[in-house]
A and B are shown apart, each in its own frame.
Chain A
């Protein structure tokens, strides 16, 4: 089952940042594939959401790019900047707290 896009929307930046932290530098397709694998096909990042997010992260100064030429194609690798590195921790913690709050609010019993 693929999670609804509503759930994904708020978390995409965090997911991307975390992936980059764990894997150094990645390119767009790679990111979508990793996430698909790790989430066991439940989270499918659409390209329509990915690239605007990556550009926004670049504009905010959290990621930089490296270009590699592959024949006629140009591949852009994304990696975290120093401030991006810091931000990942922030965002992951924020989300973790958010999850706890939601668990509490929705009265979700811990999975046994």
Chain B
């Protein structure tokens, strides 16, 4: 019976810790076990140091860490079923959110962005990590694990690139480039290289790689289809026609009525012009006149309702139109069911109009239309009849 000193016990515990055993439970278990072995198997005058080294090496194949690792694996197994549940639920929900976000966007309904964004966030921050963690358990080779982690990072990058594109945030193009670059030039070679080594996964790897390349091709081409040159020209021609008609009308019509009305009319026409300028500046970077005069087809991007609502010109326009409607007691626009002339309602309606018509052509048309109606509203009817 060897009797251990406190110092030796401390030494053993520290050595266990130093060799990579982090779980306190396991540390204490091993400590007690080793002490028992030493006490029972080492003679009274035996060499502690030597015997300890021999004893501890019985516990593992390569290093003591193996026990820690194995214990950790077995413990996380406990969470396996909960994780699987989380994965399924979060995956399903985020897919639904993204899908409805896309549908709302197509229908130009409000809230599309929130839905889509929450879908993407849930998907990439909950579903993907959980899925990859579970898959990680299946892989044994360190290299396979590394490839898997790389794959997860690339997927998250791609998703965020899609998000940027969807929300029309600045840098969407750059982000997309980085994401796809990493996928095709970074991940794909690594994936192929590791997959081809193992004859069992060879076919799978090749097929998946082909799918990745094809999928990337589609993803890169489809959303980036700029409105064709024909469509752009169509828009410009349309808007030109609208402006020609409007300016002709303005020349012919003379606003009559009280000074108040004339003031409101001028203020309104002014605000409408300014808004049109702001919109065109927002999408094409030039003012309205330049845009119409340019034959070079400045390709417009989308203007989101959020961006539109940020212009002060939008607010001024809405205020001016309501003011003029009150002064002339006419409606300068109508949308479907007849609404009351109540000021607050009118403003809300207008805001909704801007929510639902982000396409430049429709927007500009709408504004031009209200300008036309305004001209008609302030001109006594007989002037038109006389012409």
A interface, CB within 8 angstroms of B: 27-29, 32, 46-48, 51-52, 54-56, 59-60, 70-76
Q: CB distance B9 to A73 under 8 Å?
A: yes
Most buried by B among A32, A51, A72: A51
| Chain A neighbourhood of B61, CB < 8 A | 48
Whole-angstrom distance from the CB of A6 to the nearest CB of chain B? 15
A70 to chain B, nearest CB (A): 8
| Contact indicator per residue, chain B 192-204, by CB within 8 Å of chain A (1) or not (0) | 0000000000000
Q: Tell me, rounded to whole Å, the shortest Cβ–Cβ distance linking B103 to chain A.
A: 44
Complex contact B66–A27 (CB within 8 A):
no
A55 to B72 CA separation, bound complex (whole angstroms): 9
Q: How far is the CA of A55 from the CA of B243 in the complex (A)?
A: 80
Among B30-49, those with CB < 8 Å from A are 30-33, 35-37
Assess whether B83 is interfacial by the CB under 8 Å rule.
no
- In the complex the two chains form, is A55's CB within 8 Å of B26's CB? yes
A51 and B71 contact, CB distance less than 8 A: yes
Q: State whether A52 touches B6 (Cβ < 8 A).
A: no
A28-B31 in contact given A56-B74, A59-B78 (Cβ < 8 Å)? no
The answer to whether A76 and B32 touch across the interface, beta carbons within 8 angstroms, is yes
Q: Are A48 and B66 in contact (CB under 8 A)?
A: yes
- Residues of A near B35 (CB, < 8 A) are 73
B365 on the A face (CB < 8 A) = no
Asked whether, in the complex, the Cβ of A59 is within 8 Å of the Cβ of B75, the reply is: yes
Interface residues of B (CB under 8 A from A): 6, 9-10, 25-26, 28-33, 35-37, 58-61, 66-67, 70-71, 74-75, 77-78
Residues of B within 8 A of A74 (CB): 28, 31-32
Contact assessment for A52 and B71 in the assembled complex, using a CB-CB cutoff below 8 Å:
yes
Pairwise interchain contact B58-A51, C-beta atoms closer than 8 A: no
Residue of B9, B58, B74, B78 near A47 (CB, 8 A) is: B58
Do B32 and A55 touch (CB < 8 A)?
Answer: no
The CA-CA distance from A72 to B6 in the complex, in Å, is 7
Closest Cβ neighbor of B66 among chain A residues: A48
Assembled-state Cα–Cα distance A73/B8 (Å): 12
C-alpha gap A38/B35 in the complex (Å): 22
**A67 to B29 alpha-carbon distance, docked (Å):** 10
Asked if B10 and A51 sit within 8 Å, CB to CB, the answer is: no
* Contact residues in A for B25 (Cβ distance below 8 Å): 55, 76
Q: Check if A72 sits within 8 Å of B60, measured CB to CB.
A: no
Q: How far is the CA of A55 from the CA of B58 in the complex (A)?
A: 19
Query: Which residues on B sit within 8 Å (CB–CB) of A72?
Result: 6, 9-10
List, sorted by A's number, 26 A–B pairs whose CB atoms are closer than 8 Å: A28-B33, A29-B32, A32-B33, A46-B58, A46-B59, A47-B58, A47-B59, A47-B67, A48-B59, A48-B60, A48-B67, A51-B71, A52-B70, A52-B74, A54-B29, A55-B25, A55-B74, A56-B74, A59-B78, A72-B10, A73-B9, A73-B32, A73-B35, A74-B28, A74-B31, A74-B32
Q: How far is the CB of A27 from chain B (nearest CB, A)?
A: 7
Looking across the interface, which residue of chain B has its beta carbon closest to that of A44? Answer: B58
Closest-CB distance, A73 to chain B (whole angstroms): 5
Given A47-B33, A52-B67, A55-B74; A73-B10 close (CB under 8 Å): no
Contact of A51 among B6, B26, B37, B77 (CB under 8 A): B26
Quick one: closest B residue to A56, CB to CB?
Answer: B74
Q: CA A59 – CA B76 in complex, angstroms? A: 9
Q: Does A59 lie within 8 Å of B67, measured CB to CB?
A: no
Q: Kindly list chain A residues whose C-beta atoms are within 8 Å of the C-beta of B37.
A: 29
- Whether the pair A51, B29 counts as a contact (CB closer than 8 A) is yes
- The answer to whether B75 touches A55 (Cβ under 8 A) is yes
Which chain B positions have C-beta within 8 A of A32? 33
Query: Which 8 pairs from chain A and chain B are nearest by CB?
Result: A29-B36, A56-B74, A52-B70, A74-B28, A47-B59, A59-B78, A29-B33, A28-B33
